[in-house]
Amino acid sequence: PKEKNWYGTHLYFYQGFWCASRVFRAMICFQKHFQALDSDIFLTSIPKSGTTWLKALTFSIVNRNQFAREENPLLSSNPHQLVPVFEYDLYLNNPCPDLENSCPYQPRMFSTHLPYAFLPPSIKDSNSKIVYICRNPMDMFISLWFFTDKLRPDNVEPLSLDEAFEKFCQGMHDFGPFFDHVLGYWKASQENPNRILFLQYEDLKENINFHIKKLGKFLGFPFSEVEEEQGVVEEIARMCSFGNLKELDVNKNGMHTFGIAHNTLFRKAEVGNWCNYLTPSMVEYFKKLIQDKLDKSEVVFARTL
Ligand code: A3P
């Protein structure tokens, strides 16, 4: 089946998920050709769940001893330029991209929005690390609605909130359905906790220092007592904070490869921003959907409702 995307292109339903056609081709090349290394780190998410933040944090944690504070590459590059996306930056126009030059830092770090089921066996069978971040679907939905409007060419009519809501609830959005995406990674993280870390945006917002330390430990780059005393964790939190990244020249004025302005990646960064946009009946429907879909898992978004 084929459906109109939120910004004028098409979505195809493939093995339970909705994918844009060009991503579909890139995904096949990625699945076929990519060879994972045990030292690789993969950052995974459904769009608008905090990917940019996770990339900045992971990059800073892993490379904290590679450069002086004032030479942090985050000062001159957007986090997405430091951690390329398989299906956009690497395999979109090239079946065998030059991975070494795409990742100038070691260990290699990549990202993807593909569901867990679509990851190549090479990744699943390796000893690499996977970090997944997700977010309350109501905030993610509002974030996606604003973002896709920025991707919309002038000749495509804007999608109303009602229409977007309808599509979201049916799972029709890039890499949707949302709940299947979240649950795929959730189950994998339960089966393989040493390899797959499942994070929630709201938890990072609540206690970022704790999660920086957790990420460091999980990835094999734990913080020493001396580092903690020196305030290294707090400095990473500050560098990667929304307020700091948003104001950097590269993020205010830079452009990503597909003509996406870096500043479109930074909007409000609030927990509960949905309450300014969703109608009471939408909220009611959402709550029921969340309850139905997550009923048998331990994933809880309730704190943010
Ligand atoms: P809002 O649209 O709600 O503001 P992604 O990076 O996956 O595309 O997610 C984008 C969302 O994360 C946007 O949410 C954006 O504002 C927020 N965001 C971007 N950088 C952030 C940061 N450093 N810290 C917290 N949130 C951030």
**Sequence-ordered list of residues with C-beta below 8 angstroms from that of 279, at least 6 positions apart, any chain:** none
In this structure, which residue's CA is closest to atom 24 in ligand 1? 242
**pLDDT for residue 257:** 74
The neighbour count for residue 107, using CB atoms within 10 Å, is: 17
The chain-wide mean pLDDT, for the chain, equals: 94
Atom 23 of ligand 1: nearest residue by CA position? 242
The Å distance, Cα 168 to ligand 1 centre, comes to: 19
Domain region containing 188: 2-304
Ligand 1: distance of its center to the CA of 225 in Å? 30
Nearest residue (CA) to ligand 1, atom 12:
50
Q: Which one has a higher pLDDT value, 1 or 17?
A: 17
Would the pLDDT of 304 be above 60? no
Report which of residues 243 and 154 the model is more confident about: 243
CATH number at residue 63: 3.40.50.300
d(CA 121, CA 236): 33
% residues pLDDT > 70 (the chain): 99
Residue 64: pLDDT band (50, 70, 90) is very high
- From 45-54, 116-125, 282-291, the region with the lowest mean pLDDT: 282-291
Phi and psi torsions of 145, nearest 5°: -65, -45
Identify the pLDDT of residue 142: 98
- CA of 2 from ligand 1 middle (Å) equals 29
> How is 249-279 classified by DSSP, letter by letter?
HHHHH-B-TTS-BGGGG-S---TTGGGGT--
Candidate from 34-38, 42-46, 138-142, 154-158 with smallest mean pLDDT: 154-158
Q: Which residues of 78-102 are buried (b: 16+ CB within 10 A; e: fewer)?
A: bbbbbbbbbbbbbbbeeeebebeee
Give the ligand 1 atom nearest the CA of 143: 2
Which atom of ligand 1 lies at the shortest distance from residue 266's CA? 16
Predicted confidence (pLDDT) per residue in 167-208, tens digit: 999 999 999 999 999 999 999 999 999 999 999 999 999 999
* 271 phi, psi to nearest 5 deg: -90, 125
ipTM: 1.00
Q: What is the pLDDT of residues 230-285, one digit of tens each?
A: 999 999 999 999 999 999 999 999 988 777 899 999 999 999 999 999 999 999 99
**What count of residues does the chain have?**
305
* β-pair partners for 131: 43, 197
Instruction: Give the strand pairing for 2-4 and 10-14.
Output: antiparallel
Q: How confident is the model at residue 144 (pLDDT cuts 50, 70, 90)?
A: very high
Question: Per the structure block, which two tokens stand in for 305?
Answer: 């409702």
User: In angstroms, rounded to a whole number, what is the distance separating the alpha carbons of residues 196 and 216?
Assistant: 13
| DSSP H or E run through 200 | strand 196-200
Residue 265 half-sphere exposure toward CB, CA atoms < 13 A: 29
Residue 173 appears among annotated catalytic residues? no
User: Residue 251 Cα, ligand 1 centroid: separation in angstroms?
Assistant: 12
Which residues form ligand 1's pocket by a CB distance below 6 Å?
Answer: 45, 47-53, 56, 139, 143, 146, 240-242, 245, 265-269, 273
Q: Are 94 and 84 in contact (CB under 8 A)?
A: no
pLDDT on residue 116: 98
Number of domains in the chain: 1
CA atoms of 5 and 9, how far apart (whole Å): 5
Nearest CA to ligand 1 atom 14: 269
Residue 181 near residue 17, CB atoms below 8 Å: yes
pTM over 0.90: yes
- DSSP state letter for 166: H
Residue tagged 């094999």 (tokens)? 220
pLDDT at 7 over 80: yes
Least confident of 96-100, 116-120, 154-158, 254-258: 254-258
Mean pLDDT, residues 33-42 taken together = 97
CB atoms within 10 A of CB 255: 12
Evaluate if residue 166 carries a pLDDT over 80.
Answer: yes
List for the chain the helix, strand, coil content (%; round to 5).
50, 10, 35
Nearest to 99 by CA among 195, 91, 125: 91
Cβ pair 145, 159 in contact under 8 A: yes
